[in-house]
Each structure stands twice: as C-alpha cells, then as structure tokens.
Structure 1
Amino acid sequence: MFNKKQIAMIGLSKDLLAYQTGDRIDTISSYTESYDTSRGVVQEAFNTLEDEKAIKRSKRGTLGTYLTEIDYIKLWKYTLETISGVSPLPYTKKHEGIATAIYKEMEKNEIPFHFAYMQGAENRIQGVITGKYNFAILSKSAAVELVKDYDVSIAMEFADYSYLSGYVYLYTDENVFDRKKLRVGRDLSSPDHTKWMEILAREKEIEVEYIDIQYTRMVPAIIEGKIDLTIYNKDTVDKPGIFTGVSFREVEANPGIGNECRAVLVVCNEFPGISNLLKQIIDEKEVALVQQEVIEGKRVPVY
C-alpha cells in the first residue's frame, strides 16, 4: 500500500513527463483536487522531486509556476513502472541489432525494460494503442501510413536502412515476370508489404489476384504453389535461393528508399511523456554503433 505522498509522487511524475522545459505547470490546488489529497502532501511531493533533481521550478507571481529543468529518467523512476516495447520478430541482424542497442540504452540508465516480439506493423501499433506496450519499432514507411489511421506519432528516427536493406521478389517460376496474371501473396497487417505488392501490379501492368497470408507463411506458400510471387525482406536472403527451388530478384527502388527503410519508434499520442522519456534515454548514434557491431558479429545480440 502506498501512502498519500507516494501516491502524489507517482501521479506528479507521470503528469510532468508530458511537459517541456519552459512550460507552465498546474497550480497546487489543481493537483490537490486531481489526487484527492491536501495541499501539504502535494507540496511535499513537489519538494521531493526538486530535492532529487527530477525537476526545477520557477515561481513567477501571477504568471504562475514554470519548469526550468526536467530529468525525464528520474521522473520515470518515481512512476515505479517498467517500459515495454514491441519489435518485429528478430530474424535479421538489423532487427537483432536495434533491439540489442535499445536494451543497452535502457540498462545504462537503469530503466526496468522488456521487449515483446510481434510480426505485422499494424499489430504492433494496436498493442501500443491499447496500452500494452509503450512504443513500437516500425519502418518509417509503415509508420507514415499508420499515423493516418491511429492516434500515434513518430517519437524517434534512426539511420537510413536501419530497419531493413531493401526488398526482393520471391518466386519459383523463372518466367514469372513475363506472365500477365499472377497470384500474389500479401500481408494486410504490413503497410510496407501491401504497398509494394500494389506497386508491382501497377508498374508491371499485370492482373493480380491477391492471396492474403501472414508474412511468416509466404515462403511455404511459394513452395507449395499457393502463390506465384511475393515480396520479402532482403536481409533474410543470403544466397541465390532461400530454400530449395525458391529464387529471388531485388526490387528496383526509388532513391528515397533509405529513408523509408529506417527504423522509427512510434508512441501513442495519449501518453506524450513516453516520447520525451525515450529521447532522453536513447542515443541515436549509439544505436547505430551497436546495431553495426551486431551485424558485423562483433557484439553478441541481447534481446
């Protein structure tokens, strides 16, 4: 059981995460009403946060009270909560690398943290929207599409090609690109996958029958003859055939594909403090360094 001061500390810390340096904060009276406690308890909670250097306030008379310093990491620790993220299944070195880098940043700042792993960008976004996870890792391309339909935003962006290196077509029939009608595997939970399949149909001027399949079932579907063609993450292809009889061809991409293929962190707009917190915890340059070390085999992935 928490005492009144502890309850006020937890509430204040969560509330103040959403503020920026220079913002005016609510009055003591408003916090007293919000937490159903006394002015003395709220003032004592504020004083503790200042003593611990989580915040610094400046009182400006009738203008109100403003925050002149904020340490989001210290505020988060007073919430007594664990940060949770959701990432794609770590089946490539890039995904292993970025998960490892984020774990390292959390550990460095002594933040309780765990990752969950889930295929499908939209599935991960729904996990964030429902509050199951604090943030999700997506490609920028997918994030740009999903922010149109969900109350989410991009909190952080990493380097070009940090999510994946590009795309390849998978097929078994070497004459597949000469055909005018194709059964194409499509994963509707992935905006990237859907977009590239639609581009194929438009640019190749072919008749397409979309077969909706989970991304992880695409290769078996090719082998079993259920589909003629699909698109796949280039980073999973090490040789001219992933499995016996399956071939690939690189997708011709526009010059801006690197930006689309960068990893981003997406958060729910209902909890703006998470974005502020992640920006203080995670160093983009350090993420790039650790990810590259994992890719080159110089660091053991931890995820």
Structure 2
Amino acid sequence: MWEKFYSKNGLAAKTIAKELLKVKIGEKIPLITDYSKKLNIGRGTVQSALRLLVELRAVSLEARGHLGTFLLDKDNNLLLEIAGVAPLIGSMPLPYSRKYEGLATGIVESFEDIGKRVNLIYMRGGSNRIEAVRTKRSDFAIVSKMTAEKELSKYPNLKVFKRFGANTYVSAHKIFLANNIEKVTWKDKKIGVDMESPDQIQLTFEEFKNKNVEFVEVNYMQLFEMLRSNQIDATVWNADERRMVQTFQSIEFSSQEAKNISLDTTEAVVVINSDREQEIQEKWDSVNIKKILEIQKQVENGERIPRY
C-alpha cells in the first residue's frame, strides 16, 4: 500500500493529507474541483488520492449528495506521516513544578487540537536548552525572558519567537534557608548555585554581591538534600517547587537589582533560530497561546491532570 505513494495519485494524497489536517471532524471537506484548482491536478487524481487516504484509514468520509462530502473521522498522526510533516521538537525545563507541568501540557494539547504534533524534551539549564536550538538538536526552547536576552546577545541568529507573559515561567524566586539558620547574617555562609542556570546565577550573584559568602557550585537536583543536610546555608530557587516551600523557610531579595532581574525571570518565552522562522511559523500556525495558558492554570490549580 505504501508503495502507492510514489505514484502520481500518491503524491497528490500527500498534499491532500496536509490539507485535511486543517479540517475538523464533522466539517465538509473542500470540493474536488477546489482541490483540483488549488493543487493544479486533475479531478480524477484528486478522487484517487482521497480513495487512497480512505483505504489507509487515515480518514473516514461520507458523501451527502448535493450537501458535499463530510469528514467523519481522521487519524492525525497517520495524516502527518503521509504528508511528511515532522513534529516540532521543543526543549523545556524538567517538569518539577506544577507550572512547568501545566505549560508542557498546554503546548502538547494545543498542538493536538489543530491536528499537529510536538515532541518535548526536558533539559536542565536554560543555557543547555538554548544550545540545543543553536546546534539544531531542537526546534525551539522554552526559557525565561531574562535567559533569552542574555543568551541572544551572544547569538544574533537566535530570536524570541513567542512570549507567554508574566508569571508563566515561575511565580517568583526566593532565597531558601537551611533549617539551622535562625538569624540571617551572611558572613562566611555557603550559598548553593547551579552554574547551568542563567537565572539563578544572575539572581544569586546580584543578591550576594559584596557579601562575605562562599559560593558552592551545585546541580539543582542536589539543592534540596544539601540544604536539608546543612552542606549549604542558602540558595536562590523557584518558589513554585512545593517540596522546597514546604520544607524550608524562605525570604525575599534585599538587593534592588536582584528584585528587578527577578521580574524578567517570571516570563516564559520561545526561542528559535531565525533562519528557520518561516518553517517553524507554519507549524505553530493556529496554535492558541491563550489556550496554552488556560491549560497551564488548570494544571496549577489541580483542575486538570498533567499530560505531556
């Protein structure tokens, strides 16, 4: 059956499969003459292409006389495969908070709603995700606005493609304290910092600038245990991580510069390679940002089960 796609009818079926991805179940599909004119192919070729898609069970159609032909059902994944449309690959932070889970769920489901696929990979560190885009291991990266601005100054071929608005990446960053600290006097204190997180680096170094502290390089996955075992005295971290909030005391930033930077760390943005903007725009076309954010909020509030 798949060998038929190397024929004239098969090539037409590939093009029509792409067109049918835009049609919702229950809607009338375009007329054969419409496809014929748009795609510059004969009516018989269009009819054969549609029959092939039905044979493969990519679509189920029903002719209703003068009313036209209606789409009863479709297999979007099969249509995408037939059309040769590869899914976008996006890199995101590890989903350790409800906010990240919600954003991932919103992206996946919003693509599905328009009959498209997106594959998400999860990587620690905004710099690593930017590098994945730069080296073409992923098509886009989700990072904070602050990380994007910092990294894009080094790579002019990258650009911010979409913005999600304030409080979509994190609600806030705070300083979390080990349990043995009763009064914060920073002299000789050990401050944990993940050197692969541009947000944490900037916030930490600004907050503790000119203070007599020791910076301890730590993988963020170790931060919780190192705080609990008093191997470090404090760290700057995402206030959306429930385990941290429930276990440790936290305080706000005292540095005005850290407070200013913190505002830019709350917004999630999509970074792409500007050379591929048209290609990526076609695949993001019709994806509803408002719906992504509605789903994110539902996951955060426990009203929706994460699915990513």
TM-score, with length taken from structure 2: 0.68
Alignment partner, residue 118 of structure 1: 123
For 2:137, what is the secondary structure of its paired residue? Answer: coil
1:162 aligns with 2:164: no
Question: Could you tell which deviates more after superposition, 254-263 or 111-120?
Answer: 254-263
1:207 aligns with 2:195: no
Alignment partner, residue 184 of structure 1: 191
Q: Percent identity?
A: 25
What's the CA shift string for 1:161-213, capped at 9, x where partnerless?
Answer: 011110121222324631323221111111100001111112xx412322111
Post-superposition offset of 1:277: 3.0
1:292 aligns with 2:294: no
Distance, in Å, in 2 between the alignment partners of 1:251 and 1:48 is 64
Distance, in Å, in 2 between the alignment partners of 1:201 and 1:257 is 14
Kept in 1, the 8 Å contact 2:224–2:244? The answer is: no
What's the CA shift string for 1:1-59, capped at 9, x where partnerless?
Answer: 9869999xx9xxxxxxxxxxxxxxxxxxxxxxxxxxxxxxxxxxxx999529xxxxxxx
Q: How many residues align?
A: 240
Post-superposition offset of 1:148: 1.5
Structure 1: 4+ residue segments shifted above 3 A:
1-7, 47-50, 74-79, 237-241, 250-260
Distance, in Å, in 1 between the alignment partners of 2:219 and 2:253 is 20
Alpha-carbon spacing, 1:238–1:75, altered in 2? closer, same or farther (3 Å): closer
Question: Could you tell which deviates more after superposition, 139-148 or 252-261?
Answer: 252-261
Post-superposition offset of 1:78: 4.8
Give runs of aligned pairs for residues 1-303 of structure 1, distance below 5 A. Answer: 50-51=38-39, 78-150=83-155, 151-172=157-178, 173-175=180-182, 177-202=184-209, 205-237=210-242, 241-242=246-247, 246-251=248-253, 254=259, 257-277=262-282, 279-303=284-308
Alpha-carbon spacing, 1:215–1:278, altered in 2? closer, same or farther (3 Å): farther
RMSD: 3.2
Tell which structure's C-alpha radius of gyration is larger.
2
Alpha-carbon spacing, 1:184–1:77, altered in 2? closer, same or farther (3 Å): farther
Alpha-carbon spacing, 1:221–1:4, altered in 2? closer, same or farther (3 Å): farther
Alpha-carbon spacing, 1:145–1:113, altered in 2? closer, same or farther (3 Å): same
Kept in 1, the 8 Å contact 2:126–2:143? The answer is: yes
Distance, in Å, in 2 between the alignment partners of 1:117 and 1:148 is 24
For 2:104, what is the secondary structure of its paired residue? Answer: helix
Unpaired segments of 5 or more residues in structure 2?
Answer: 15-34, 41-78
What's the CA shift string for 1:206-225, capped at 9, x where partnerless?
Answer: 12322111111111122233
Post-superposition offset of 1:237: 3.6
TM-score, with length taken from structure 1: 0.69
Post-superposition offset of 1:88: 0.7
Question: Could you tell which deviates more after superposition, 119-128 or 258-267?
Answer: 258-267
What's the CA shift string for 1:264-298, capped at 9, x where partnerless?
Answer: 11112332224423552422211121111111122
Post-superposition offset of 1:77: 8.5
